[in-house]
Amino acid sequence: MITVSSLITAAIIFLARVCDVSLGTFRHAMVIRGKKAIAFGLAFAESLIWVYAVSRVLSQISEPVTALAFALGFATGTWVGISIEGFFKIGEQAVRIFTPRGGELAEALRAKGYRVTVFDGSGRNGPVNMVFVQIKRRGARGVVSLVRSLDPSCFVVVDDVNDTSSAWVPVRK
């Protein structure tokens, strides 16, 4: 029988799972980006919360509502964690723009302060340029919007960047 006490316990388990899975999802993103110290702290907090949530479920194993809260908290935590990671937008991205108007796009991007490299190539319909820009993740939408406003038919690829090395950007250790 479902009691007020079991519903309160289920709510606590749900919130604990939302927290620990959100932390885990964000931690995973930090691991991929090489942010060791942040990932360490998140892993510690995540595991403490997980142990608490599991112990609460096991202490009331005869109440199905606690298991449902555990599972629902996991699913919700995944969504929340992805949203948190998207909000912080930590890291770098490489934007590659394929267009026959590479010079024009490169000049517009340089005028906005971006470092740009243009490569010549050939596509199905003749000469094409690949315009390469590496930027902070927060700026990717702005770059894509700018190039689409100048050349709506361009083909754009945006990739996450893990490590780079140049005169301007040292490799992370």
Report the first-to-last Cα separation within the chain, whole angstroms.
Answer: 56
Residue indicated by tokens 């935590």: 77
Q: Where are the domains of the chain?
A: 4-88, 92-161
- In 3D space, the residue among 18, 19, 26, 12 whose CA is nearest the CA of residue 55 turns out to be 12
- What does each of the 173 residues of the chain score in pLDDT, given as a tens digit? 788 999 999 999 999 999 999 999 999 989 988 889 999 999 999 999 999 999 999 998 888 999 999 999 999 999 999 999 888 888 889 999 999 999 999 999 999 999 999 999 998 889 999 999 999 988 889 999 999 999 999 999 999 887 766 655 554 44
Calculate the alpha carbon distances from 5 to 9, 12, 16, 18, 142 in Å: 6, 11, 16, 20, 50
pTM beyond 0.75? no
Q: How far apart are CA 48 and CA 68, in angstroms?
A: 21
Distance CA(15)–CA(69), nearest Å, equals 9
- Give the amino acid at 51: V
| Pairing state between β 92-99 and 155-161 | antiparallel
Which CATH code for domain 92-161?
A: 3.30.70.120
Number of neighbours of residue 65 by Cβ within 10 angstroms: 17
Q: How far is CA 130 from the centre of its chain?
A: 25
Q: DSSP for 77-118? A: HHHHHHHHHHHH--SEEEEEEEETTHHHHHHHHHHTT--EEE
